[in-house]
Amino acid sequence: MGRTEIYREFGINLDLALEAHEAIRGQRGGEIPGVKLQEETFDTAQVKTVTVLDQRGASIIGKPPGKYITLESNVLRINNKAYHKQLSETLAQKLKEILPFHSENNSVLIVGLGNWNATPDALGPKVVEKTMATRHLYGKVPEELTNGLRPVSTIAPGVLGITGIETAEIIRGIVEKTNPNLIIAIDALAAGDVSRIGATIQLANTGINPGSGVGNKRSGINQETMGIPVIAIGVPTVVHASIIAHDIIESFVEQMKARPPLTELTKELHPPMLKMIIDQVLQPYSNSLMVTPKEVDDLIENTSKVIAMALAEALHPAMPEEVANYLH
């Protein structure tokens, strides 16, 4: 059973555009019409940009037209301040490239999506904790103190199960009252491969649908619903158990094919049989069981620092370089 087939059979939505691109390109055996891939190499990261050029590409890849920038790096898994700073600089550079404005006076609302009571889903709130809000300073302190600091406000609105209010409704109300020029939403994502956890950061200028990767899709947070541009920053923190089970079985089958006495047995493991086995093992949670590593606390802490540093550098031209010290 191929990747695209397992995703379809188990109703898995891929949060990462790069994973969707790789799966579909592998299935088609060639490039995808209306979709472009660009790759760059930096000291601490591989950067791959998937650009969905038109509706044709969007319908094939399942993502709206726009840019999806993926940073692949293993430095998030280690506690090394120097590497984290380099990665944050690369992230800041890529964020600047998709900012819809360049004036220091344009205001930004940073939204930390997720549940602060569940560690794998606490990335957004953690970033907000480490982000300096400056909007309230304007008109209240001498002008020279705000030169080079963009008006930034932050909010961690929680989740529907805690507040009883759709996250999009909360954000829309804040936008109507405070009139920011841009929303930057940070959220934890679901990966299609274990290797992505703690090793991938995605930037997208198309907004976000919170919870879509874990089958709990909420109202979209994008330019259409908010009335202003929305940039999404997402990091995979969980993976579907069904994907892990599938990969184990596939690897076992490949090993058996190399042993002549077992070759005939592998023919019985066709896609419907594989799905039935996985369903039986994972019942009653075959479509909803998510897995996260035990080191997720450290991954969330490291990643939130990297993202907060990148936001400070990208949004505030006069932010002192020593800001990293305050985050560590």
Distance CA(242)–CA(279), nearest Å, equals 8
Output the pLDDT for position 146. 60
Output the pLDDT for position 264. 57
- Quote the pTM value: 0.88
Q: Which residue has the tokens 């889903």?
A: 121
Of these ranges, 164-173, 206-215, 280-289, the one predicted with the greatest mean pLDDT is 164-173
Which residue segments constitute the domains of the chain, with CATH numbers given?
A: 3-238+297-327 (3.40.50.1450)
Q: Say if CB 67 and CB 51 are below 8 A apart.
A: yes
The total number of residues shown for the chain amounts to 328
- How do residues 301-313 score in pLDDT, each as one tens digit? 999 999 999 999 9
Q: Pick the range with the lowest mean pLDDT from 28-32, 177-181, 198-202.
A: 28-32
Output the pLDDT for position 328. 44
- How do residues 180-225 score in pLDDT, each as one tens digit? 999 999 999 999 888 999 899 999 999 998 755 455 566 789 999 9
Output the pLDDT for position 70. 97
- Exposed/middle/buried for 151, CB within 10 Å: 0-12, 13-18, 19+? buried
Q: Pick the range with the lowest mean pLDDT from 127-131, 260-264, 316-320.
A: 260-264
Output the pLDDT for position 121. 94
Distance CA(187)–CA(36), nearest Å, equals 25
- How do residues 220-261 score in pLDDT, each as one tens digit? 899 999 999 999 999 999 998 888 887 887 777 777 666 666
Does 262 have pLDDT greater than 70?
no
Mean pLDDT of 257-272: 60
